[in-house]
Amino acid sequence: MTETSILTKKDLKSDQEVRWCPGCGDYSILNSVQAVLAGLGIQKEQLCIISGIGCSSRFPYYMNTYGFHTIHGRAPGIATGVKIANPNLSVWMVTGDGDGLSIGGNHMIHMLRRNVDVKILLFNNQIYGLTKGQYSPTSPTGLKTKSSPYGSVDRAFNPIKLALGAGATFVARTMDTHPKHMEQVLLEAANHKGSAFVEIFQNCVIFNDGCFEGVAGRKVRDERTVDLHAGEAMVYGEAHDKGLRFDGFELKGTSAAEAGVWDPSVLSTAPATVLAELDGRQDLPTAVGLFRRVNAPVFDQDVHAQVRAVLERKGPGKLKDLLYTKDAWTVS
Amino acid sequence: MTSTPHPAAELPLQQQESVVIRFAGDSGDGMQITGNQFTDTSAFVGNDLATLPDFPAEIRAPVGTRPGVSGFQVRFSSADVHTPGDQPDVLVAMNPAALIVNIKDLKPGAIVILNRGNWGEVDLKKAKLDVDPRTSGVLDGFRVIEIDINARVKEALADSGLSSKDVQRCKNFYTLGLMYWLYSRPLEPTLDWLAKKFAKEPSLVNANQTALRAGYNAGDIHEHFQARYEVARCDTMLPGTYRNIMGNQSLALGLVAGANLANLPIFLGSYPITPASDILHQLSSYKDHGVITMQAEDEIAAICSAIGASFAGHLGITTTSGPGMALKTEAMGLAISTELPLVIVDIQRAGPSTGMPTKTEQSDLLFAVFGRNGDAPMPVVSCSTPADAFECAIEAVRIATQFMTPVILLSDGYIANGSEPWRLPKMEDLVPFPVTFRTDPEAFQPFSRDARGVRPWVKPGTPGLEHRIGGLEKDADSGNISYDAKNHQRMTDLRHQKVQNVADTIPTPAVYGAQEGDLLVLGWGSTYGSIRSAVDVLLKQGKKIGQVHIRHVWPMAKGLDQIFARYRAVLVPELNMGQMTRLLRSEYPGFSFVSYPKVQGLPFTTAELVERIEKALA
């Protein structure tokens, strides 16, 4: 058979009919992921998409790559096993706010602290969609849902802060309404060595329609978001006329000219945390783009490095030597 | 009652066939090491043997208390033995608590060695004793030997330069030396072991070796004893090369051997849990055998990482005990649904819930066979002795890889920490069963099946075979998601049939003893040795009984019905409330199964089994 070295988006579409609701933000994400993965220069057999359970987790079925639709919340465990067993694979994990932060929250933080070389796409729609509309760990307090008819009394997780707190080496945020931005963030995630955590604001057209409209809607997003780029000024606004700069542990609105330059690679996670806390309540935009990118030892590589080091020191072990030890004796 | 020093004459050397010693002390007294050393040395001199450690779940319960008592029982013999013995002939009690906890188990006339150095008012109080057992009459009928081990060790190590705390930590080797003298064992194996163990701290090597010799010499100068004993080498052991092995050790070795025979690298995902952690410890040291281990964040991540590794072409393994099994069940279903090979090791312990972590039980049987959501069949293999765990681990790997299925391998705390001489397999007798990965894209369907109902295994990274798997029901032909009613029936039947097909590859177990007669005693798992010992007793009395032991718990071997038909009844002793009995009654409704349950966290004694079998025969 012949393999071309350059894939097209079409090569990555599986023969399965996509079954998300019409208007779901997931379509846009699927489209962007296919565009980015096709351009990575990786053969499709080297791509492996792993998901948990939920609307977003149907993702692998729509990708003509290797894929594993696993169980609720456990995609990080499976993805870690796959990546360790074959570090040559490009492993992508697709999860949601319920799958990745509620039932699978423990696995998520441990995957991030280990820095397993897996790219994590967290579709955040602030709702349980596949179970038909219950509040999730990212739902705002007070949200009325089927399981919170008087409003949710839960406090919400901030996924970016959770990832920063877990020691993630790459943390970014994008939105389903802005494919160009998403593709840029996904490409940066793909190029990162280690866990790359990408929160994607995703609209659930049925159960939480418009949950990010005030931030990510096409008409408002230039005014309501600031896009973080490494080494660039924190400027926003339709006319690129506004900016942000740090004043101690707080952010102040400034003119574009006075905006601070963003560095996602500083040792402290404090600046990124402050940016993550911008949630529209202040008179400031919500931050998207690159919150953090640092180099750290990569778990799957270190696992193999340790095996190689022992093999070099001891030589390949023989089964017979394991069984026939020095304390063995013979009966004749 | 203390014996007076004997004049310096050669003591009579008395031959004994079989001796049971129990070492008991605080969990910080090193009784497990002492017992293991005595065991290894007995193996070295060619005895057959069996051991039973009995220790608390707490690492260091309060010193001197009853809950803090740690024991190690070893039976060594010049004849075949299958159990660590019902009643100790010798008890070494390092403090009053150790005496009072163990005294009820002793054989009448047993030797009791007491450490008088830990026998003050405080020690009695810690053991909740109002009256000193030395004067209360509970020791009547035993041969009591009191030694101030604390003082003797202090004398022996006066010049060691060690702190008095470190000196006292050598007490167990003094005690061991004394027992070596009493049973005429060589010191060399332990001297060598100490030299290795403390290689980085020569002062500790020296101190412990000195304590060992001092204990031995204390016997030699006839301070305490009127006789010495000898247990000759066991001449009925089959020719071969042996080593003493604990169940968890041989199970770990079996997994490595199985992976080797399947030509696969091992990936172990595991979370620490008693009594399974030693398998994780051991496998994590085998990096030179290409073994990859990951200590996961929890039991679920442990099995999931193993499933991921299996998907990617490794032999995925996860090891745990009952509570961990409970957490893993959903993932087991995923492995069944995606038809990936996986070995799940369950070292059973007393339940329910946290139960008694260090005590043995066989109560996960029905859980292993049926405990998952949906119709989720899975083969289950069960180890019967520490050495047998090696073969069973290989068998679990064979079934998992040959049938593309998760397999549960059952062991228990008794096998895990018990030990026996293991007749090592000849390397040429280990028959390879190499795995073939599918690489041909021609007409590939991920859930197409061969004649045995087995789907192909494809490593991600293989060009042209890209496919998706998952826990949703699959179309039997294309492997795509399907909610079709008839397809679900078909897939359920196919999964069931595949597991049943395993029975075509397993032998009918042999019957020991009478090949037909009044009673068949059927066991599975760690009851093997106890049942064998009881059956031997009754066979010698001319009873027409047989023993059959089940390795393949699910599916069961073919031909068992024909065996059952040759006896009037089948007695099923097991360390649970009768789970195997239920299984047998549902699978073989035409036969009479009599349950003999025991759930005390301890194995059956030979005596209680003999009594129950006699009752069944009456």
Complete DSSP assignment for A296-329 = ---HHHHHHHHHHHHHHHH-S--HHHHHS-TT-E
Buried/exposed code over B241-267 (b: 16+ C-beta within 10 A; e: otherwise):
bbbbbbbbbbbbbbbbbbbbbbebbbb
Q: Is B440 on the interface with A (CB under 8 A)?
A: no
Cα A183 from Cα A37, distance rounded (Å): 10
Q: Write out the E strands in B531-608.
A: 545-550, 552-554, 567-574, 593-597
Mutation choice for A interface testing from B188, B192, B268, B304 by most A CBs within 10 A: B304
Q: Is B394 within 8 Å of B382 (Cβ atoms)?
A: no
Helix (H, G, I), strand (E, B) or coil at A134: strand
CA distance B295 to chain A (A): 11
Cα B382 from Cα A178, distance rounded (Å): 57
Cα angle A72-A73-A74, degrees, rounded to a multiple of 5: 95
Name the phi and psi angles at B506, rounded to 5: -120, 145
In a domain, A224, yes or no: no
Supply the range of the domain harboring residue A192.
9-218+297-304
Give the chain B residue nearest A59 (alpha carbons).
Answer: B468
Contact B241 A328 (CB under 8 A): yes
- Domain boundaries along the sequence of chain B: 13-230, 243-429, 512-617
The reply to whether A126 and A251 lie within a common domain is no
Q: Is B24 on the interface with A (CB under 8 A)?
A: no
Instruction: Tell me whether domains B243-429 and B512-617 share a fold.
Output: yes
Q: Write out the E strands in chain A.
A: 47-51, 66-69, 90-96, 118-124, 127-128, 134-135, 170-175, 196-201, 225-228, 235-236, 242-247, 250-255, 286-293, 329-331
Name the pLDDT band for B4 (thresholds 50, 70, 90): very low
pLDDT score, position B10: 67
Question: Which residues in chain B are contacts of A317 at CB distance < 8 A?
Answer: 286, 288-290
Phi/psi zone of residue B77: left (φ > 0), alpha (ψ -120 to 50 degrees), beta? beta
CA atoms within 13 A on the CB side of A144: 2
Cα B95 from Cα B147, distance rounded (Å): 11
Q: What is the pLDDT of residues B79-91, one digit of tens each?
A: 999 999 999 999 9
The reply to whether A76 and A208 lie within a common domain is yes
Contact B334 A71 (CB under 8 A): yes
In a domain, A322, yes or no: no
Residue B567 has pLDDT above 60, yes or no: yes
What six digits make up the tokens of A294? 């640092």
Residue A237 has pLDDT above 50, yes or no: yes
Q: Please measure the distance between the N-terminal and C-terminal CA atoms of chain A and give it in whole angstroms.
A: 60
Which one of A1, A16, A331 has the shortest CB-CB distance to B464? A1
CA distance A312 to chain B (A): 8
Between the CA of residue B370 and those of B197, B347, B374, B452, B553, what are the distances in Å? 45, 17, 9, 22, 12
In a domain, A4, yes or no: no
Cα B108 from Cα B78, distance rounded (Å): 22
Contact A78 B292 (CB under 8 A): no
Mutation choice for B interface testing from A44, A68, A72, A314 by most B CBs within 10 A: A68
CA distance B301 to chain A (A): 5
Between the CA of residue B129 and those of B64, B66, B100, B101, B114, what are the distances in Å? 11, 10, 9, 11, 15
In a domain, A146, yes or no: yes
Average pLDDT over residues B555-566: 98
The reply to whether A249 and A195 lie within a common domain is no
Q: What is the pLDDT of residues A120-179, one digit of tens each?
A: 999 999 999 999 999 999 999 999 999 999 999 999 999 999 999 999 999 999 999 999
Question: Which residues in chain A are contacts of B244 at CB distance < 8 A?
Answer: 327
In a domain, A319, yes or no: no
Contact A82 B480 (CB under 8 A): no
Q: Is B135 within 8 Å of B122 (Cβ atoms)?
A: no
Across A281-285, B233-237, B256-260, B439-443, least confident range: A281-285
What six digits make up the tokens of B294? 């990951």
Q: Write out the E strands in A77-162.
A: 90-96, 118-124, 127-128, 134-135
- CATH code of the domain occupying B512-617: 3.40.50.920
Cα B158 from Cα B167, distance rounded (Å): 9
Name the phi and psi angles at B303, rounded to 5: -70, -35
Which one of A43, A71, A77 has the shortest CB-CB distance to B463? A43
The reply to whether A164 and A28 lie within a common domain is yes
Could you tell me where the DSSP H helices lie in A235-298?
A: 270-276
Question: Which residues in chain B are contacts of A110 at CB distance < 8 A?
Answer: 296-297, 301
Q: What is the pLDDT of residues B375-432, one digit of tens each?
A: 999 999 999 999 999 999 999 999 999 999 999 999 999 999 999 999 999 999 999 9
pLDDT score, position B6: 46
Element (H, E) at B179: helix B171-182
Which one of A79, A307, A317 has the shortest CB-CB distance to B308? A79
pLDDT score, position B222: 65
Residue B27 has pLDDT above 90, yes or no: no
Tell me B69's DSSP state: E
Q: Which residues, including other chains, have CB under 8 Å from residue B519's CB and lie 6 or more apart?
A: B543, B544, B545, B546, B567, B568, B569, B570, B571, B613, B616, B617
Give the chain A residue nearest B258 (alpha carbons).
Answer: A319
The reply to whether A23 and A156 lie within a common domain is yes
Which one of B244, B289, B461 has the shortest CB-CB distance to A86? B461
Cα A77 from Cα A93, distance rounded (Å): 11
In a domain, A200, yes or no: yes
Contact A80 B294 (CB under 8 A): yes
What six digits make up the tokens of B296? 């996961």
pLDDT score, position B3: 42
- Average pLDDT over all residues of chain A: 96
Which one of A69, A88, A329 has the shortest CB-CB distance to B470? A69
CATH code of the domain containing A145: 3.40.50.970
Paired sense of beta strands A286-293 and A225-228, if any: parallel
Cross-strand partners of B404: none
The reply to whether A126 and A235 lie within a common domain is no
Across A2-16, A277-291, B412-426, least confident range: A2-16
- CA neighbor of B517 nearest in space, from B448, B405, B616, B436: B616
What six digits make up the tokens of B214? 């001092």
The reply to whether A131 and A258 lie within a common domain is no
Phi/psi zone of residue B336: left (φ > 0), alpha (ψ -120 to 50 degrees), beta? alpha
Q: Which CATH number fits domain B243-429: 1.10.40.50, 3.90.330.10, 3.30.1300.30, 3.40.50.970?
A: 3.40.50.970
Q: Which residues, including other chains, have CB under 8 Å from residue B85's CB and lie 6 or more apart?
A: B18, B20, B50, B73, B75
Sheet with B552-554: list strands edge to edge: B292-295, B266-270, B315-320, B342-348, B406-412, B380-382, B552-554
- CA neighbor of A102 nearest in space, from A170, A176, A152: A152
Q: What is the pLDDT of residues B265-297, one digit of tens each?
A: 999 999 999 999 999 999 999 999 999 999 999
Q: Is B350 within 8 Å of B359 (Cβ atoms)?
A: yes
Q: Report the percentage of chain B scoring pLDDT > 70.
A: 98
The reply to whether A27 and A141 lie within a common domain is yes
Q: Give B 135-164 residues with CB within 8 A of chain A.
A: none
Cα A89 from Cα B498, distance rounded (Å): 31
Paired sense of beta strands B90-93 and B111-115, if any: parallel
Contact A71 B462 (CB under 8 A): no
The reply to whether A147 and A259 lie within a common domain is no
CA distance A52 to chain B (A): 9
Structural domain count, chain A: 2
pLDDT score, position B1: 38
CA distance A99 to chain B (A): 14
CA distance B69 to chain A (A): 30
The reply to whether A212 and A233 lie within a common domain is no
Cα B41 from Cα B43, distance rounded (Å): 5
Contact B289 A317 (CB under 8 A): yes
Cα angle B157-B159-B163, degrees, rounded to a multiple of 5: 70
Cβ atoms within 10 Å, residue B154: 17
Which one of A82, A327, A329 has the shortest CB-CB distance to B308? A82
pLDDT score, position B2: 40
Architecture of the B13-230 domain? 3-Layer(aba) Sandwich (3.40)
Q: Is B192 on the interface with A (CB under 8 A)?
A: no
Q: How many CB pairs under 8 A join A and B?
A: 211
Q: Is B363 within 8 Å of B347 (Cβ atoms)?
A: no
Residue B53 has pLDDT above 90, yes or no: no
Cα B233 from Cα A150, distance rounded (Å): 79
Residue A21 has pLDDT above 50, yes or no: yes
Q: What is the pLDDT of residues B461-494, one digit of tens each?
A: 999 999 999 999 999 989 999 999 999 999 999 9
Give the chain A residue nearest B306 (alpha carbons).
Answer: A81
Cα A28 from Cα A177, distance rounded (Å): 8
Which one of A48, A74, A317 has the shortest CB-CB distance to B304? A74
Q: Is B179 on the interface with A (CB under 8 A)?
A: no
Q: Is B313 within 8 Å of B285 (Cβ atoms)?
A: no
Q: What is the pLDDT of residues B90-145, one digit of tens each?
A: 999 999 999 999 999 999 999 999 999 999 999 999 999 999 999 999 999 999 99
Contact B294 A324 (CB under 8 A): no
The reply to whether A202 and A106 lie within a common domain is yes
In a domain, A278, yes or no: yes
Q: What is the pLDDT of residues A35-74, one digit of tens each?
A: 999 999 999 999 999 999 999 999 999 999 999 999 999 9
pLDDT score, position A3: 46
- Which ipTM value was assigned to this complex? 0.97
Contact A89 B312 (CB under 8 A): yes
In a domain, A113, yes or no: yes
The reply to whether A236 and A214 lie within a common domain is no
